[in-house]
Amino acid sequence: MDQTVKKKDCCSSKEVSGDQYDLIVVGAGSAGFSASITAAEAGKRVALVGHGTIGGTCVNVGCVPSKAMIRAAEAVHGGASAARFPGISPCAHAVDWGGVVKGTADLVEEMRQKKYIDLLPAYENVTYIEEGPARLVEGGVAVGGRVISAPRVLIAAGSRPHIPVIDGIEAVEALDSWGLLTLPDRPESILVLGGGYIGCELAQMASRLGVKVTLVTRSRLLPGAEPEVTEALTEALKAEGITVETGLAYVSVAKAAGGVSLTVERGGKTEDLTAERLVVTTGRIANSENLGLEELGIETDARGSVMVGPDMATTRAGVWAAGDVTDRDQFVYMAAYGAKVAINNALGLEQMRYDNAAMPWVVFTDPQVAGVGLSEVEAKAAGHKVKTSVITLDNVPRAVAARDTRGVIKLVADAKTDRLLGGQIAAPEGSDTIQALAMALIFGMTARALGETIFPYLTTVEGLKLAAQTFDKDVAKLSCCAG
């Protein structure tokens, strides 16, 4: 983005009345708090403008509640799957869906209080303003019938669930992800629309808590993941009794006896899928409307996401943006990181650029799916001559000992330099394993160097060493710890 085309600071008007601040932050979620704390620690006076529940998506309706219920479902599944060990009988845990939901809500309230509300008094130069929706105007931000002014503004308004345009969907009381997580009574069956990370996570969680689940998607599960990883996850979900319907088109939705009916088209033929409730997990969309962006020349993309440069600046001088409202990565840790980048540049503290080259990501299914760096397709598109290594988890001693060999590891490297470019993993401990690969990418390791690194035996992370060795040898022919 050419930042030189900006002409006028949006907040430089001397005629503006109202409170004066060094920085106005619009949005009190992860990005908003990260920005406010960064500025406050630099001695700046900050107006943090919130609207809705303080804390934003992650703590209230996203990461915290979903992962809490996913963990609860894992505990239930642990009893049922214990029979994979010789001499162990399975057990079926009684599930009180309403109790799980209530306990999750209590945890959310506790986390919101501890990590957001209770933090505000610690930063005396941050003023929290919650007087209704905010709108950027010449000279500052209008909120609650007044205009507050500052030379710099950060937009951190977050995102909300995207509801696809399907005939009849508005008439069936479709649930979004938060709607499912707060449903007081367990539904008998659900149709989960969307095979991204949210759909896959919630489909498995609900299934393990006793719901009959059909997961429906236009393409394949996790379309951005490596095909080998997607296949491993699909097989795992099907093995647990989840019906996975892929490669279809959504035609219409209608009320039906006992629930809803989704008409889909596949191979030129239509068919109906039915369940008690419809859960829509087809991505998220930026909360950018009604912020006055167009009037100030702040550009957004086709989905309404605020476009930012590597310094997180928008197309309007004096205005930066971070988090889910932007066209950057929609992960809570990247929202906080992007906000720090923005504020450091906005306040002239330290010149920073948004860098996601070694950004790890995780899907909290079981097996967990995680990745970092370039996929094979992305590496080729970037001009690399690529070599890949793929091993299934039955080659990893940890998985064999745990009697759970569901999963796969794939590494991507430059064929000329041997430098690692990326990798993905599907494994029960995939979320913890991926950080080792992220560090390898940060320090420019080669596949050979990774394969020669000492890893502890009987760990999932040892699979990275074995995958690296697989570039040049058949690890099935190695003894324990050899190589």
> CB–CB of 459/466 below 8 Å?
no
Residue 184 one-letter amino acid: P
Residue 481 confidence (pLDDT): 67
- What tens digit of pLDDT does each residue of 137-177 get? 998 999 999 999 999 999 999 999 999 999 999 999 999 99
Tell me whether residue 201 is annotated as binding: yes
pTM (2 d.p.): 0.93
- Judged against a pLDDT cut of 50, whether residue 4 lies above it is answered with no
DSSP H or E run through 31: helix 30-41
> CB–CB of 332/62 below 8 Å?
yes
Question: What DSSP letter does each residue of 187-225 carry, written as one string?
Answer: -SEEEEE--SHHHHHHHHHHHHTT-EEEEE-SS-SSTTS
Residue 301 confidence (pLDDT): 97
- What tens digit of pLDDT does each residue of 425-453 get? 999 999 999 999 999 999 999 999 999 99
Across the range 375-383, mean pLDDT stands at 98
Instruction: Quickly state the pLDDT bin for 476 (edges 50, 70, 90).
Output: confident
Cα-based distances in Å from 120 to 20, 54, 125, 368, 370: 19, 11, 9, 35, 34
Tell me whether residue 323 is annotated as binding: no
Please compute Rg for the chain using Cα positions: 24
- Judged against a pLDDT cut of 80, whether residue 312 lies above it is answered with yes
In this structure, are strands 259-266 and 249-256 parallel, antiparallel, or unpaired? antiparallel
Tell me whether residue 198 is annotated as binding: yes
Residue 468 confidence (pLDDT): 97
Residue 482 confidence (pLDDT): 59
Tell me whether residue 194 is annotated as binding: yes
- What tens digit of pLDDT does each residue of 188-215 get? 999 999 999 999 999 999 999 999 999 9
**Calpha distance 448→415 (Å, rounded):** 12
Output the six-digit token pair for 169.
């969907």
- Judged against a pLDDT cut of 60, whether residue 320 lies above it is answered with yes
> CB–CB of 249/266 below 8 Å?
yes
Structural domains of the chain sorted by starting position, each given as residue range(s) with its CATH number in brackets? 3-55+116-160+285-346 (3.50.50.60), 169-282 (3.50.50.60), 361-477 (3.30.390.30)
Tell me whether residue 67 is annotated as binding: yes
> CB–CB of 175/280 below 8 Å?
yes
Cβ-Cβ contacts under 8 Å for 443 (sequence gap 6 or more): none
> CB–CB of 368/434 below 8 Å?
no
Question: What DSSP letter does each residue of 243-270 carry, written as one string?
Answer: EEE-S-EEEEEEEETTEEEEEEEETTEE
- As a whole number, the mean pLDDT across the chain is 94
Lowest mean pLDDT among 41-45, 307-311, 366-370, 479-483: 479-483
Across the range 406-432, mean pLDDT stands at 98
Tell me whether residue 197 is annotated as binding: yes
